[in-house]
Structure 1
């Protein structure tokens, strides 16, 4: 008999930290939150995982739950000769993943169940780290106008060589201004910011200082395990003291949930379709903006939607960093309205969902007869009528896929939200 609560989920691609956290662990935890207060206590994780010798996902799962991890493959083998019983078993839901599109374009449960905050806080607690700074009503709480804010630009594979040059130039200008003020050679015109470029894969655990990690109050593992710092803990330490988080779409977006209250995340965007970056068919893509709208204790900013296809420019990056720093110190209200944390195309999608209920149900409800290509979506592809979102559809794997929606309404809303569209996208 397995005593206590067991949380069951299956997980694909757990070698990727984004999928590890928000396609397996997070949906499972949201399911557990619905049985409050079980989510606040230690629980076992029963996970359906493929073998992976170099993955650290199992360690994250084990620490997060507090009662270790049981792999489904092992249980299946052991069950051939004997029966096992679980005292309490909670099953995750496949509709709570980060790519499970909601009508409000939010991370499922992030706002209405406060799941983003609960997930963040437990992640820090179970990894033996102090909780992020709590700010109740304003981002300016526990800050002064002379504070030096920490901005990190996270490396992104979508950055081109020219993008990197522009980003590096922006970092230098931001840091030169801050250094000049600190040396009393410049007047304070802008908030003080220390900007850095960060490669997550180069962050290393500092086990000589691991004794600083606090033992958690409800973890069943040994103190030796508690004091051992891993790569993920080292990354969390950096995230905890970030004020401004900056990156492009993709895996880099998946850590913003772990930012402290009153932080700002800047999505520098990317360009779709892949391989057509320098053509007239290119359009701006932010991808995981639902992560930002589903995190009400941070503020989201976006690279200008009609400028991103020209490549990242130094002056736009500087403008965004200074805007973020001013918002933080002037004090933006907490919690942030979820819709305000969306980019223009995200807001368009939400309004489209409100006005075209049939379309909204079609793309947000997972039912057997719906083509997977119509629910596994990015909103920018809909708005720019790309591939299966074209009026005439698109051939995918030798079959024609048409995902119907009100094209005239999309054209109207593109005008309302000021989103430029090139007809050659069709």
Structure 2
């Protein structure tokens, strides 16, 4: 809404990489500011949504790798351009499909801090009502993981420090202490005699022959470590190869053995969400706790490799 004589820049933005169309907001013009104010106060009488709202568009849920780095990450990179908002709680206006079984929405809720507002719900409730966003950020452009760069880095990962900021916020929002930062080199804060922790991530593309070769390699590496781990530090430092303990894991099984804690206090009819919401450990929390301990991640092609951004530096 503007008054006559006001000049606005071209407000056109490419909101996501999945389509080439841009969004240009509709402009409503008033003869004077008093008319504009009268319309807002008396006619529109909107509900004002305080704080920062970040727009996210993602065409498919259910694949956590794409959800994180083709949906949530590029939206967050757009917010990084407006510091310090990327360090504060914000709301996600999510243009997503309805899904009653997708855990992705819980990640959106926890990562943002103020939760998500679903686009189709807003559209439904906007019929005959006005909503005003205090601050609104839209336009992730071509910042997705699938938007391949020549250096194979995540867009904005280096120049905006997006990879680290995204990783650290995810850990903090889940209540997990982030990995130790290394500023100069991969062995920073490590001793040569430390046993490195490696994980081979299961991949549906592995054949039986692949798995046999992987198991044989793991056995050889672990036997080497067992043979030398009890030697003196001086002897270990002279070894040609580092000591590595390697395990084989399935991401979907992580957290299965975790005993879900409950409380004797149940939700009341007026509770907006479960009273244990911020206290329970989710499957993704368990995955983050494991990722934080990884020195080496070994994975095959596909979305399974996308978790690499959550492992420690180096």
TM-score when normalising by structure 1: 0.57
Q: Which of 70, 77, 89 is the matching residue for 1:23?
A: 70
Give the Cα–Cα distance (whole angstroms) in 1 for the partners of residues 221 and 199 of structure 2: 12
Q: Which of 171, 185, 192 is the matching residue for 1:124?
A: 171
Contact 2:261-2:280 within 8 A present in 1 as well:
no
TM-score when normalising by structure 2: 0.76
Contact 2:193-2:243 within 8 A present in 1 as well:
yes
What 5-or-longer segments of structure 1 have no aligned partner?
212-219, 263-426
CA positional deviation for 1:183: 4.9
Q: Deviations over 1:157-183 (max 9, x none)?
A: 121111110000000000111111235
Give the Cα–Cα distance (whole angstroms) in 1 for the partners of residues 56 and 127 of structure 2: 21
Give the Cα–Cα distance (whole angstroms) in 2 for the partners of residues 73 and 194 of structure 1: 48
Give the Cα–Cα distance (whole angstroms) in 1 for the partners of residues 66 and 200 of structure 2: 21
1:27-426 map, 5 Å: 27-183=74-230, 188-204=239-255, 206-207=258-259, 224-262=276-314
Structure 2 residue aligned with 1:300: none
Q: Any idea what SS the aligned residue of 1:245 has?
A: strand
Contact 1:7-1:92 within 8 A present in 2 as well:
no
- CA RMSD for the aligned pairs? 2.2
Give the Cα–Cα distance (whole angstroms) in 2 for the partners of residues 91 and 119 of structure 1: 17
Structure 2 residue aligned with 1:4: 51
CA positional deviation for 1:104: 3.8
CA positional deviation for 1:184: 5.0
Give the Cα–Cα distance (whole angstroms) in 1 for the partners of residues 190 and 113 of structure 2: 34
CA positional deviation for 1:93: 2.0
CA positional deviation for 1:223: 7.0
Q: Any idea what SS the aligned residue of 1:136 has?
A: coil
Aligned length: 254
Moved over 6 A (4+): 220-223
CA positional deviation for 1:92: 3.1
Pair 1:100–1:168, CA change in 2 (3 A): same
Give the Cα–Cα distance (whole angstroms) in 1 for the partners of residues 164 and 227 of structure 2: 37
CA positional deviation for 1:207: 4.4
Pair 1:141–1:254, CA change in 2 (3 A): same
Q: Any idea what SS the aligned residue of 2:123 has?
A: helix
CA positional deviation for 1:124: 0.3
Give the Cα–Cα distance (whole angstroms) in 1 for the partners of residues 282 and 170 of structure 2: 13
Q: Report which of the two has the higher share of helix.
A: 1
